[in-house]
Structure 1
Amino acid sequence: MAKKVETAGGQSLSYDFLIVAPGLVLDHDAIEGFSLDLVGTNGIGALYAGPDYAARTWTAAQKFTQEGGVGLMTRPATEMKCAGAPLKHAFLIDDIASRTVGRGKFEMTYAAHDGALFGVPIVSEKVRMLFGDRGIAPVYNHVLKAIDPGKRIATFTTPDGDTELGYDYIHIVPPQRAPDVIRQSGLSWADKWVDQGWVECDMKTLRHLRHPEVFALGDVAGVPKGKTAASVKWQVPVVEDHLIAAIMGREGTEIYDGYTSCPLITRVGRAMLVEFDYHNNLTPSFPGIIAPLEELWISWLMKEVALKATYNAMLRGKA
């Protein structure tokens, strides 16, 4: 390996150690018939593309909550950042619509990409129960393939072949992959996530398995869990420890256990603070105070006040 990084500006930078943390890319082009300029029109929402598209999404979603109809929520088959976000959107739109147009004037369908609603079984079952209480209908093993904006029809790939579902409002979450520069570098896994290109690394140390001078951080890391801001917060000290140890010629000791936090909003003013590890063990930060599978106002407050400040600090490198 040449141990060089070529920049877009034409520079060639040599390194002894490399930390790879470019995030991921949103593959909107993978969905036939969809483009970002459609967001906010024809009942189409797509939050992930950024603040401007979030505002446009609300335009389409608000029309649905005021007029009713059929709401269709999707989730891609790839790994993704904040895998609970599509559920949050479904819960919030359902709650808002119930207060505006009212129950009986709208229906909601959540298209799960596999046979579960969440990657942690006990949380998946809790979500299923909440969906049942609120009349949100899940359909399983449905992966969005295409949309017809004019007819408002979505086509899904299923084990039994393609199927179509109509909608008045659809929330599109695109497939997510490692940037091309990573996929073309030879750093990606060769035997798993081959369509996504996540960096091959040890799940406990985040160190590359074939190139020990390389570490992966954040969304691009090819580990079973960890595409959240909370995960990055726990990953950084691990990489730091092993990087310093390598520079000093010794072995690092810190371990990343897959910690992930998902403040799962279930209605306006209520949330569940779900925290878990690689083994799907619940790992609550406030045992005995905040029950992880209860809809609590304090979890909502933590999400809205404390965590928002933490996210902003992280973006500025101060947390």
Structure 2
Amino acid sequence: MEKVVMVGAGNSTAVQEFTLEGFPAVQHLGKVLFLLHLLAYLASVTGNSLIFTIIWADRRLHTPMYFFLSIFSFGECGFISTVIPKLLTIFLSGRQTISFAACFTQAFAFLFLGATIFFLMAVMSLDRYLAICKPLHYPTIMSPRTCILLVTACFSLGFLLMVIPVIKLSQLSFCGPSVIPHFFCDFGPLAKLSCYKTRATEMLFFIFAFFILFASLFVTVIAYSNIVVTIVHLPSAKERKKAFSTCSSHLAVLCLMYSSCVFIYLRPKQMISLDSNREAALVNTVVTPLLNPVIYTLRNKQVHQALRDALSRVKLPTFWRNVSSPP
């Protein structure tokens, strides 16, 4: 139920909580959808957490490439955790309300971590460029200090670029209706519920979103253009295959992320369909984070070996060792 408070002596009302519409067309399948999304969420968090843990536990993986991958996996865990738990609540119990403060906190966390992940992807592209095109200078350029500074810059830029439009939007009046036609608090659906014109705030957000996507894509395109040229000129097919294998997983993840985000945030306003936005957002928040651990580890022999070594070091409890030992 919509909660309101009176503002002044007039008939204006201020919304204290919002209602997330979710997926009304399939709400009758709530229990089934809850189970499917719970399994996807657990698999995604487990996969990304496993990558993060293995990289930090195995000294052989203490290189810039794997350092950035571990931070990326950590960011993915936070990114999906801003959205999926509330979606699971909607599917399981039908509780669709969310307080004003919680809604804008969710919107900021989602956009901040999403922007940070795009900057991290650009840094990972730059890292691959230096490793393949400038191998002699790579250890000097990508020092531990440089890696930490780059990661700090990614998080700082993501925070600064997203906190301003979200704060500006939260300071506007919301006097009803309070139903958000989405399964989480995203910037666009929230802006449409404001009592006042939000054109300036929406334009600010669009500029920042465009900058994030364009800047990260620009760095990626330049980096991979040089990588392709370098790989083509490698003398042997074996070297070309090895060089390309270090980039193929990163490219696959880039394609998934950019396609869904461009579809959601950078389309002309008249072309925006709320249902298609929800579907694209579901891909971005459920499918992509689930596939990322698989894509990054499927053809990575070093991660495979580190995982096998970690599993081989896991010892059975004393009780089971005694049971399995012959008398």
TM-score, length of structure 1 as denominator length: 0.27
TM-score (norm 2): 0.27
Q: Which one has the largest radius of gyration? A: 2
Larger strand proportion, structure 1 or 2? 1
The structure showing larger relative contact order (alpha-carbon pairs under 8 Å, at least 6 residues apart) is: 2
